[in-house]
Homo-oligomer: A and B are copies of this chain.
């Protein structure tokens, strides 16, 4: 039993490994990101990665720890829900490469896909459930929002489709906010 309050000398190493891991996973995906490359980026021996994180899966699990940090939607004017959500997602995505790492890895790694499912099923569905719409529709609304938001991320950060990668966040917000708004509060036919 070690004292968790006392900061160990290896904390800096742990952190630099994690930082390098996020970068590599985001840039290369799960299988192309090798432990040796991550260790080289962190200027550390590959065996240290194993000692501190147990396995490659364990390292990824630690590196892909993520919270959407969705704002409290009950204090948002109902007509502006879509806009607030797109803006939040865009800023969350631009500022933290963890989500890109998770997105890339989710395509090929079952564990990463499971985690992505958890994040969007739990956190987003919970947020959608806070304003009282038909509970039977809540999951579907959250799923539709996830499809547009993840599609935006996929085309902008992964595939880098020129029109999506080059457009300014504000223009994207203007186009996509009404979509999310309808998914959240509208009906299919409207």
Chain A residues engaging chain B, CB cutoff 8 angstroms = 28-32, 103-104, 106-108, 113, 116-117, 120-121, 139-140, 142-144, 146-152, 154-156, 158-164, 167, 171, 174-176, 178-179, 182-183, 188-190
Contacts and interface: CB of A to CB of B under 8 A. Distances in A.
Contact of A164 (B31, B143, B189): B143
B171 A121 contact: no
B161 A120 contact: yes
Copies of this polypeptide in the complex: 2
A121 B104 CA distance: 21
A154 B103 CA distance: 10
Contacts of A107: 29, 103-104, 106-108, 158
Contacts of A150: 151, 154-155, 159
B146 A149 contact: no
A164 B146 contact: yes
